[in-house]
Amino acid sequence: MAKAKSDSLFSLIKSLTQTEKRHFRLYVNRSGNTQEVKFIKLFDAMESLKQYDDKEILKRVPAIKKVQLSNQKAHLYRQILSSLRQYHIGQNTDIQLRENLDHAKVLYNKGFYKQALKMLDKTKALAKDTKHFTISLEVMEFEKLIESQFITRSIENRAEILTDEVLATTEIIKSSHQLSNLTLNLYSFFLKHGYAKNQKEFDEVNSYFLANMPKVNFDHLTFYEQLYYYQAHVWFNKIVQNFPNVYKHSLAWVKLFQSNPEMTIKQPVHLIKGYRNLLGSLFQLQYYSKFCEVLEEVEELSQDKQVVQNQNTEVLIFQFLYISKINKHFMEGSFDEGVEMIPEIMEKLERYKSKIDPERVLMIYYKIASLYFGSGNYRKAIFYLNQIIFYQDVKLREDIHCFARILNLIAHFEDGQDYHLEYQIKSTFQFIGKMNQQQAVQKEIISFLRITGKITPDQLRDEFIKLYNALVPLSEDIYERRPFFYLDILSYLESRIENRPVKYVVQDKFKRLK
């Protein structure tokens, strides 16, 4: 099937809500009659199309020649962005601050230095109040420029006051950047490698974390410094598999917002990510009652228009809310009920796919495949695992790629599709070796699958028992237990040994857990 041609302008137009479209039309009509303006006709034509098509656009807007189309599109793109900026200015303090800064620049250029300083002073106060310290520093640099060029006599000791303000703000920004850079690099490590799988990786991450974590006086940290501090600790502890600490710091992350409710409106993305990590840690710890309590909070959050302000936050909350719902079914062993959610998940995934990171899409596919596997629908599990296996960038979440292949082998075995199993085992083993993901668990599973074609059915149960006994001690080894975060292989083996569906094994464990 041919891939539909993409176009950034077309995607932008299609993302507009009805109120944003209405505002755009009012915005471009602000200077009078625009019936003959070409870019308005271009907007109407592109809005009415289902797929981007140059030829169809030129046919619908004959006033635009082929050689003019590129320039007209660029102009329309800028007009839409200007309209959106104006429309959303009340919801984005940083846009307001930058507009004030632009106004001060206009006043400065006109020679109204005191008026410009007055505007800058108000902007700086708002920037500090809303914790936009980078903009605050930009404002102060502008103030220094005016004060150094003109004798304004605005305040006595103005130079000393400004200098002290700049130094204090620079320290805050420096500390924030150190913490945010550390957070970003740890997150990048996790995306590429997943959990630390050996002592070498543990030592690497631990050394990096200790060397780059700045010494801080926590009582004097600003909101953002505290936020980045918690984030850095969440990612570090996640990588080294210290889930009690992941829980501790992600809970502190969420409570930071609860203690600063105004920041929930200003930074909803960070709040959503805090909840995502909190639920993830509770799932790893199998803390079911607390998991359900937090999931209920997130359900309420997803209906809060002050948090779900736009498509960005809408997409973010969709991603982790549904993964958390799937995780709840994993804990309960209610795979059949979980499968019922899949059409809704796929409908939303299709709607938001262009706005979701590929890493998140792969994770959703893996979770869906695991649901189908748990419910006994191995063909469907294989279908969704293939979406991961045939994804081109295998460097993205190597861990998911590797475990998708392992689960795929088991699904083929369960579905009776063992005619290509030997080839798939060889291919999977080579892939895991190439990705440097070979661990004792993977080797044991592949060794088991290799002998299945050489033994009689009555010998199979004994081999399942051998594999189970080999894997139990590995599940308690910090460097070997990583596969168990992706595959509940022990429950699967118990189901085969006891000759009953895996969902009943998980449900029994859940009852004992409660």
> Model confidence over 176-192: pLDDT tens digits?
889 999 999 998 888 77
C-alpha pair distances (Å), 94 with each of 91, 130, 162, 181:
9, 9, 22, 21
* 234 lies in some domain: yes
* 296 lies in some domain: no
* 315 lies in some domain: no
Are 469 and 415 found together in one domain?
A: yes
- Looking at the chain, the whole-number percentage of residues with pLDDT higher than 90 is 37
Are 383 and 497 found together in one domain?
A: yes
* 127 lies in some domain: yes
* 255 lies in some domain: no
Q: Is the pLDDT reported for residue 451 higher than 70? A: yes
* 477 lies in some domain: yes
Q: Is the pLDDT reported for residue 253 higher than 60? A: yes
Are 385 and 490 found together in one domain?
A: yes
**CB neighbours (10 Å) of residue 294?**
20
Are 132 and 233 found together in one domain?
A: no
* 321 lies in some domain: no
| pLDDT single digits (tens) 259-284 | 998 888 888 999 999 999 999 999 99
Beta carbons within 8 Å of 246's beta carbon, 6+ residues apart: 234, 237, 238, 277, 280, 281, 284
Q: What is the pLDDT of residue 4?
A: 43
pTM > 0.85: yes or no: no
Are 126 and 77 found together in one domain?
A: no
Are 119 and 86 found together in one domain?
A: no
**Domain span at residue 418?**
375-514
- 297, 370, 361: which is closest to 338 by C-alpha? 370
- 71, 97, 70: which is closest to 85 by C-alpha? 97
Q: Which of 46, 72, 90 is the last residue of a domain?
A: 90
Beta strands in 34-85 (DSSP E): none
Cβ contact 439:405 at 8 Å: no
Q: What is the Rg, in whole angstroms, of the alpha carbon atoms belonging to the chain?
A: 28
Q: What is the pLDDT of residue 2?
A: 37
Are 86 and 107 found together in one domain?
A: no
Q: Report the distance separating Cα 193 and Cα 195, nearest Å.
A: 6
* 366 lies in some domain: no
Are 390 and 491 found together in one domain?
A: yes
| Number of compact structural domains in the chain | 4
Are 381 and 479 found together in one domain?
A: yes
Signed CA dihedral, 302, 306, 307, 312: sign only? positive
Better-predicted residue by pLDDT, 30 or 371: 371
Q: Report the distance separating Cα 349 and Cα 236, nearest Å.
A: 29
Q: Which of 221, 239, 257 is the last residue of a domain?
A: 239
Are 100 and 234 found together in one domain?
A: no
- 145, 136, 146: which is closest to 114 by C-alpha? 146
**CB hemisphere CA count around 138 (13 angstroms):** 15
Are 464 and 446 found together in one domain?
A: yes
- 251, 265, 273: which is closest to 357 by C-alpha? 273
Are 513 and 379 found together in one domain?
A: yes
| pLDDT band with cut points at 50, 70 and 90 for residue 330 | very high
Q: Is the pLDDT reported for residue 145 higher than 70? A: yes
Q: Report the distance separating Cα 252 and Cα 271, nearest Å.
A: 11
